Chains A and B, each alone.
Chain A
Amino acid sequence: MTHFLPEGTVKIAAQNLGVFYGEKQALHAINLDIRAGEVTALIGPSGCGKSTFLRCINRMNDMVDGARVEGSLTLDGNDIYDRGIDVVQLRARVGMVFQKPNPFPKSIYDNVAYGPRIHGMAKDQTELDEIVMNSLEKAGLLGEVEDRLSESGTSLSGGQQQRLCIARAIAVSPEIILMDEPCSALDPIATAKVEELIDELRENFTIVIVTHSMQQAARVSQRTAFFHLGKVVEMGDTEQIFTNPQHTLTQGYITGRFG
């Protein structure tokens, strides 16, 4: 078990983080730092707990019956699971993009405007329009949907839907975006677009991405953490993990010998 001291600013830090679903322990004493302005990839075989860790960061696990967290998980030094932290506020700071594109069955505009609306981020319609346009622009979708903003979000193609979901997440101006296998339901062309987008988003957001694709982790991330059986086996610069893994398990996984 290694604990890496940060070189840049540490945005999220897990210390001895354990997660239980009822009796079953899903995460064992996780120690992990996620740095601001970087893309951190979480890799590992199915059921290793990487999605569970991701869902701890915006407390999505609260929605699961019987889920329990111990240890500490901090965002900018404040414990995410502290009683004083409001889940609604937390999720406004930590956005999420899901495995399957899940646009609301509303218009494209309303999809993006939903977050700003519930948080009262726009004073008037012009300001809201601006936020929506900006978010669509940043998500690289504006050109494709500019003239049909009132159409249903579900009428878009799979890749467009996923970028709409990203636009929806960044419309709230979060500090962190969590992505749970965002490309697993997309074809290679749509995947390439989303990966390109992730690289651009790094300028403004801290991104944590769960992926099953080694190539994707290597392409988009600066840092990579390898999870196995609910533990972090190895964490380091992506280049180092993929070229010179310290642990035999990591080596075995990235070379395709198991997983």
Chain B
Amino acid sequence: MTDMARTNTAARTAQSVSARLGRRYAAERTFRLLGLGALLISLGFLVILLSSIFAKGWTGFIQTQVALEITFDTQVIDPEGSRDPAALDTADYAALVRSALSLRLAPEADRGARRELTALISTGAANQLRHMLAAEPDLMGTTHTVWLTASDKLDMVIKGQVPRQVGAEGNTLSDRQLGWVSALETGGNIRKAFNTTFFTAGDSREPEQAGIWGAVVGSFFSLAVTLLVSFPLGVATAVYLEEFAPTNRWTNLIEVNINNLAAVPSVVFGLLGLAVFLNLFHMPRSAPLVGGLVLALICLPTIIIAGRAALKAVPPSIRQAAAGLGASRLQVVVHHVLPLSMPGMLTGTILGMARALGETAPLLMIGMVAFIVDIPKGPLDPAAVLPVQVYLWAGSSERAFVEKTSAAIIVLLLFLVAMNMVAIMLRKKFERRW
């Protein structure tokens, strides 16, 4: 090739490169922008989701209370003066609330007005007074200012969730009741306080008396059962398949099936639980034990797959080193491979548990959707779990359950975030470099 020709070729190459250069960079820019766009869109949705939940839900942690001059009237509570605890327990404390209300707001109230008055205070207020008197018997016959839980209707008006206007959508208070509310407000008899009931009570038909503690305890029992069943089973399966089982047609079949099980819709596991645990073994309906077993079935494939990946990540040189010293196969696994793969297995387990914590559909199948007021005392008591509680409240018609639903979602999300944080911390703490 002559010098001339060589120069020509070089020039042509430079030309064709520069001709395409602009397009190449443009393509790269477009790709980057697309990726960034996708990221921003998903971030946007996440922000919308979280902000709408928090905006709706934070008021659920607050409860309106009304201060009333309650006279613990001996004539009403204990007319015979026996001070018998049984008599005190069954006394008509609601009458104390009624008389305090009419004394404060409408001394000459007729029957209809008295009913409207009572509607301002929660029916749980009577219970509140009963507990007060039981704790302090000296209150008998005295008069005290007591902050009583307001009814959900009053609560909604005070929080501004529904307009203060008769006949407005969502408002069920009458003109007269709204007048009383204003009177109470100007007298400084209304305050908004932290809603402890929400964290200590079980479910209720009355929004102001409903709490998530029953569901939290139910979730705790269910997850405890899930962990106890799925972790040992999952780890044992992963260790057997990875370290001991021969590679043949059967183990391949099992492997494929485990991978498929991880993708089976959870409601199918619920049906399985219904057929096997309830109908075949006659286990109790709505019980966290059964819920936990069903959730364990859902978690198992995840734990097995994560466990096998963790075992695979242990370098074979460690196995050889131990075997070379005369360790038996079991010793190699128990002394070296298992401890080294434990962080990975725990991470997988926690992620599986986080999924189990959020499952609703399979639990509906085994009757965990029942309305349960009592806090469960053990895994055999009927119980609700957090996501099912959310589902139940979301379907309730009372306006006040809207904020309760969002508040319960916040609690559920906090638990999920906490579990994921634990998983990340475990991974960071035990991360090992070879």
Of chain B, the residue at the smallest CB distance from A101 is B317
Contacts of B432 in A (CB 8 A): 105
Judged by a CB distance under 8 angstroms, whether A92 is at the interface is yes
Interface size class of A (residues with CB under 8 A): 20 to 34
Q: Are B340 and A114 in contact (CB under 8 A)?
A: no
Contacts of B318 in A (CB 8 A): 102, 104-105
Known contacts: A65-B247, A105-B340, A154-B434. The answer to whether A115 contacts B317 by CB under 8 A is no
Contacts of B433 in A (CB 8 A): 154
Q: Are A91 and B317 in contact (CB under 8 A)?
A: no
Question: In the bound complex, how far is the Cα of B331 from the Cα of A100, in angstroms?
Answer: 22
Contact of A98 among B246, B320, B336, B434 (CB under 8 A): B320
Question: In the bound complex, how far is the Cα of B433 from the Cα of A115, in angstroms?
Answer: 24
B346 to chain A, nearest CB (A): 17
Q: Are B323 and A60 in contact (CB under 8 A)?
A: yes
User: A83-96, CB under 8 A of B: which get 1 and which 0?
Assistant: 00000111110011
Contact of A91 among B246, B319, B324 (CB under 8 A): B324
Q: Are B328 and A104 in contact (CB under 8 A)?
A: no
Q: Are A115 and B326 in contact (CB under 8 A)?
A: yes
User: B333-357, CB under 8 A of A: which get 1 and which 0?
Assistant: 0011000100000000000000000
Contacts of A89 in B (CB 8 A): 326
Contacts of A119 in B (CB 8 A): 326
Q: Are B324 and A95 in contact (CB under 8 A)?
A: yes
Judged by a CB distance under 8 angstroms, whether B41 is at the interface is no
Known contacts: A102-B317, A104-B336. The answer to whether A114 contacts B324 by CB under 8 A is no
Question: In the bound complex, how far is the Cα of B320 from the Cα of A165, in angstroms?
Answer: 12
Of chain A, the residue at the smallest CB distance from B321 is A102
Interface residues of A in 96-133 (CB under 8 A from B): 96, 98, 100, 102-105, 114-115, 118-119
Question: In the bound complex, how far is the Cα of B369 from the Cα of A12, in angstroms?
Answer: 72
Contacts of B336 in A (CB 8 A): 104
Judged by a CB distance under 8 angstroms, whether B322 is at the interface is yes
Question: In the bound complex, how far is the Cα of B331 from the Cα of A89, in angstroms?
Answer: 14
Judged by a CB distance under 8 angstroms, whether A231 is at the interface is no
Contacts of B434 in A (CB 8 A): 105, 154
B319 to chain A, nearest CB (A): 8
Known contacts: A98-B317, A104-B318. The answer to whether A88 contacts B324 by CB under 8 A is no
Main secondary structure of the interface of B (DSSP, over half): helix
Contacts of B326 in A (CB 8 A): 88-92, 115, 118-119, 172
Judged by a CB distance under 8 angstroms, whether B327 is at the interface is yes
Contacts of A114 in B (CB 8 A): 322, 325, 327, 335
Q: Are B324 and A98 in contact (CB under 8 A)?
A: yes
Contacts of A103 in B (CB 8 A): 321
A226 to chain B, nearest CB (A): 25
Q: Are A118 and B323 in contact (CB under 8 A)?
A: no
Of chain B, the residue at the smallest CB distance from A168 is B325
A79 to chain B, nearest CB (A): 19
Of chain A, the residue at the smallest CB distance from B327 is A118
Contact of B323 among A91, A100, A105, A169 (CB under 8 A): A91
Contacts of A100 in B (CB 8 A): 317
Question: In the bound complex, how far is the Cα of B320 from the Cα of A98, in angstroms?
Answer: 9
Known contacts: A104-B336, A154-B434. The answer to whether A63 contacts B320 by CB under 8 A is yes
Question: In the bound complex, how far is the Cα of B323 from the Cα of A90, in angstroms?
Answer: 11
Q: Are B320 and A60 in contact (CB under 8 A)?
A: yes
Of chain B, the residue at the smallest CB distance from A171 is B325
Contact of B331 among A96, A102, A118 (CB under 8 A): A118
Contacts of B322 in A (CB 8 A): 104, 114
Question: In the bound complex, how far is the Cα of B323 from the Cα of A115, in angstroms?
Answer: 10
Judged by a CB distance under 8 angstroms, whether A58 is at the interface is yes
Contacts of B247 in A (CB 8 A): 65
Known contacts: A104-B318, A104-B336. The answer to whether A169 contacts B324 by CB under 8 A is yes
Of chain B, the residue at the smallest CB distance from A65 is B247
B272 to chain A, nearest CB (A): 35
Interface residues of B in 293-343 (CB under 8 A from A): 315, 317-328, 331, 335-336, 340
Contacts of A104 in B (CB 8 A): 318, 321-322, 336
Question: In the bound complex, how far is the Cα of B316 from the Cα of A63, in angstroms?
Answer: 11
Of chain B, the residue at the smallest CB distance from A105 is B432
Q: Are B327 and A60 in contact (CB under 8 A)?
A: no
Question: In the bound complex, how far is the Cα of B355 from the Cα of A209, in angstroms?
Answer: 53
Contacts of A115 in B (CB 8 A): 325-326
B25 to chain A, nearest CB (A): 44
Interface residues of A in 157-216 (CB under 8 A from B): 165, 168-169, 172
Question: In the bound complex, how far is the Cα of B336 from the Cα of A103, in angstroms?
Answer: 11
Question: In the bound complex, how far is the Cα of B323 from the Cα of A114, in angstroms?
Answer: 11
Question: In the bound complex, how far is the Cα of B331 from the Cα of A102, in angstroms?
Answer: 17
Known contacts: A65-B247, A105-B432, A154-B434. The answer to whether A91 contacts B325 by CB under 8 A is yes
Contacts of B340 in A (CB 8 A): 105
B144 to chain A, nearest CB (A): 66
Contacts of A95 in B (CB 8 A): 324-325
Question: In the bound complex, how far is the Cα of B317 from the Cα of A154, in angstroms?
Answer: 13
Excluding A105-B434, A154-B433, 12 further A-B contacts by CB distance (< 8 Å) are: A60-B324, A63-B323, A88-B326, A88-B327, A89-B326, A95-B324, A95-B325, A100-B317, A103-B321, A118-B325, A168-B325, A172-B326
Residues of B within 8 A of A (CB): 246-247, 315, 317-328, 331, 335-336, 340, 432-434
The 10 closest A-B pairs by CB, nearest first: A102-B317, A91-B326, A96-B324, A92-B326, A115-B325, A102-B321, A88-B326, A118-B327, A88-B328, A118-B331
Provide 10 A-B residue pairs closer than 8 Å at the C-beta atoms, listed in order of the A residue: A60-B323, A63-B320, A91-B324, A102-B315, A102-B320, A118-B327, A118-B335, A168-B325, A169-B325, A172-B326
